[in-house]
Structure formats: structure tokens, C-alpha cells
Structure 1
Amino acid sequence: MEKLSDHDKAVLNCIFNPNLPIGEAEITNNVDIQDSEECTAKNLETKQMELEAIQLAEQGKLQEAIKLVNSAIDATPNRPSLYNNRAHILQYLRQFDDALNDLTTAISLCTDQHKKTLSQAYTQRGILYKRNNKIELAKEDFENAARLGNKFAKSQLIELNPYAALCNQMLKQVMDQLN
């Protein structure tokens, strides 16, 4: 597979960091290193594998990235960020059903210690639901992510609200006329 273009990297960055404006974060910020998971050698090893997989994905080596994440999941199947990150890569490979399953798994594994992963998993699953025109399910996931402070999810909720979207459009027209 050829190396990713800057545009492809920006798209991946938006997927891996939906809370942040474009260009403000690197993809590697997605691993929940601050989570207070049990600090075992196996957890540290799989976190390193996860970071390496993200770097491989950045380089366009998506199949290698999937293999590495799969190995990490085999070693520590209860780490939700692994499923969340594999889902990101699967989305880029257009394997949306598999990504949806991984996001559901990530959500089910999350605890209070995994708020960042939980927020991102809800947001990504909401995007997939929205893509499949399952608007009520998308709204529910965006609401859950928004409660966790996810600004992108909040913007998606506004976008899904037809009245808010109409108001925003009218406001934009007024502002454009003023400029």
C-alpha cells in the first residue's frame, strides 16, 4: 500500500481525534495512557503496540496496523481503547460493520477510568449510525458523548436538529451579508 497523502492523514486525524480542531493534535493522542488501568507489563506492552499500530496507520500500512492491534487484543482483550482504535482503522478500510461491532465492544468495556475512549467510541459509533441513516441511534450516541464533554458530538446533535440547523443557516446568511 502506498503512503498516505497529507489529506488522508488529516482525515485520519479527524477520526482519531474528533474532539479537536483539524491540525491541532497528532493521531497518537488517542491512546488512553492517562487511564488508571492496572499498570502491568502486559498492559504497558499492548499500549506500546497500540501506539505503533497508530503510527503504521498514519503511514498507510493499514493491514500491518490491524495485525498489530489484533495481537494486542489477543494479549489484553479487556482494553477498550484497542477496540476503539481498531474501529478507526476498519473505517478507513471501509469495513463499517466490523468497526461498528468494535465500537460497541469498546463501549461495553469502558469504565469510569476510560472516559476519553468512551467519548470517542460513542462519537464514532454515532457517525456510523448517521452514515447508515439510523438517526435516532446516532442522536443517542452523540448525546452520550456530549455528556462526556465531546464538542464534536455536540455539533453533530445540533446538525441533526432540523430547527437548530435552520437557525444556524439563517445566522450564517446574516453574518455573510454583514461582512
Structure 2
Amino acid sequence: MATEHDRAVLQAIFSPNTPFGDVPGLDQERELTDDDSPFDADSLRQVKDLESRGVSAADAGDLEAALELFGRAIRILPRRASAYNNRAQALRLQGNAPGALEDLDRAVSLSGGQGRTACRALVQRGLLRRLAGQDDGARHDFQKAAALGSEFARQQAVTLNPYAALCNKMLRQVVGKLRNPDMCEPPLETQSRN
């Protein structure tokens, strides 16, 4: 059986764009959930129904109806993060990036940076920040979302960190040369004659 270190080395060789030592899926034994225990069961059921209908409306292209439904959900349970995250998606699709960022900040804050909603909000906020050219903020959000288990966020964090990809590429080349020494570059004397 391979050790965690062995899996990390193999990951670096076969997936040079992931940070060295990151083995996708290794820390993802549990499914992310949100803690809805502080909320009244009837209100929670009502809000989840409104959010589900809002998502369906957004999927159908009716962003106004989606925004109205998410707004109603927020009015019922203003301390629950999920509706803010969903409304941010609709606002983003509508072209309202500042409004979306405001809702995403609220979703991350209300979730305490933990759970499924936090992960989704961090990914969404990272994308908006990246589009705005705020790479440091985007990288920070993607790293947090990756720590929560988002594989997409992990890939985005690597994309924004060229040093990790370069180190992994160099490691892959070294291992490749060890596997196939015939493919090594010719000695320097031969190179200088060409």
C-alpha cells in the first residue's frame, strides 16, 4: 500500500500543475454540509423551497424571478448563508458583479468560512476577483476553497501560482530522465559544436 508521501510524489509526476504534496481526494473523506441547526425547521423548509425554485428560475433564464425568490428566502432567514450565495450567482449572471461580491462576502461571513456554502461562495468570489484582475485576492479565495475540498479551486490556485507548476514540471523532467536515460540531453561539448 502506498503511503501519503508516495501518493504525493506520484501526483507531482503525473499532474505537474498541482502543488507538490497535494493529493486530490486525500482529505475529502467527508461530504461538505452546512450547519442549519440554529434555524427553525419550518422556516428552513420554506427557505429551501424558495431557493430551489429560485435556482430553477435562474436555470430557465428568469433572473428577475430568481432574484425575487432568493430575496424572500433572505428575508425569512437573514442569517443563513446559502440564499446569499445563490443570489450572488443570479446577480453575476445579470452582470452585477459589485452586488454579487457583496452577497458573496456576506455568505462567507455568515458561514464562518466552513461548509458547502462557504466553499461555493469562495470559488465564485475567486472567479469574480480573477476577472477583475485581483489575482492575490482570487488566489486567497481559491486556496481557502481548495482546503474545503474544491478540486476546481485547487486547479485555479495552481494556475495563479506559476512557481508550483514550474517546480512540478522540473521534478517530472528529472524523473523522466531517470526512467529513460537515453533521452537525456547530449553532453555540453556536443551541444557547443552545433
Fold match by TM threshold 0.5: yes
1:40 matched to 2:7? The reply is no
Please give the alpha-carbon distance, in whole angstroms, between the structure 2 residues aligned to 1:122 and 1:103: 7
Give the 3-state SS of the residue equivalent to 1:42 in structure 2: helix
Read off the aligned partner of 2:49 and give its amino acid letter: Q
* Root mean square deviation of aligned Cα: 2.3
Q: Which of the pair has the greater relative contact order for Cα pairs under 8 Å at 6+ separation?
A: 2
Please give the alpha-carbon distance, in whole angstroms, between the structure 2 residues aligned to 1:161 and 1:43: 40
What is the match of residue 97 of structure 2?
96
Give the structure with higher Rg (CA).
Answer: 2
**How far 1:153 moved relative to its partner?**
0.5
**How far 1:169 moved relative to its partner?**
9.2
**How far 1:35 moved relative to its partner?**
3.2
More helix by share: 1
Please give the alpha-carbon distance, in whole angstroms, between the structure 2 residues aligned to 1:93 and 1:107: 21
1:53 matched to 2:54? The reply is yes
What is the match of residue 157 of structure 1?
157
Q: Which runs of 5+ in 2 are unaligned?
A: 1-31, 173-194
Give the 3-state SS of the residue equivalent to 2:61 in structure 1: coil
Instruction: Please give the TM-score of this superposition, normalised by the length of structure 1.
Output: 0.70
The superposition leaves residues 16-68 of structure 1 with CA deviations (integer Å, 9 ceiling, x where unpaired) of xxxxxxxxxxxxxxxx9x53413520111011000000001111111011001
State the identity %: 38
Please give the alpha-carbon distance, in whole angstroms, between the structure 1 residues aligned to 2:34 and 2:161: 33
Please give the alpha-carbon distance, in whole angstroms, between the structure 2 residues aligned to 1:37 and 1:67: 22
Give the 3-state SS of the residue equivalent to 1:156 in structure 2: helix
Please give the alpha-carbon distance, in whole angstroms, between the structure 2 residues aligned to 1:145 and 1:100: 16
Read off the aligned partner of 2:64 and give its amino acid letter: Q
Please give the alpha-carbon distance, in whole angstroms, between the structure 2 residues aligned to 1:35 and 1:117: 7
1:64 matched to 2:46? The reply is no
Instruction: Please give the TM-score of this superposition, normalised by the length of structure 2.
Output: 0.65
How many residue pairs end up in the alignment? Answer: 139
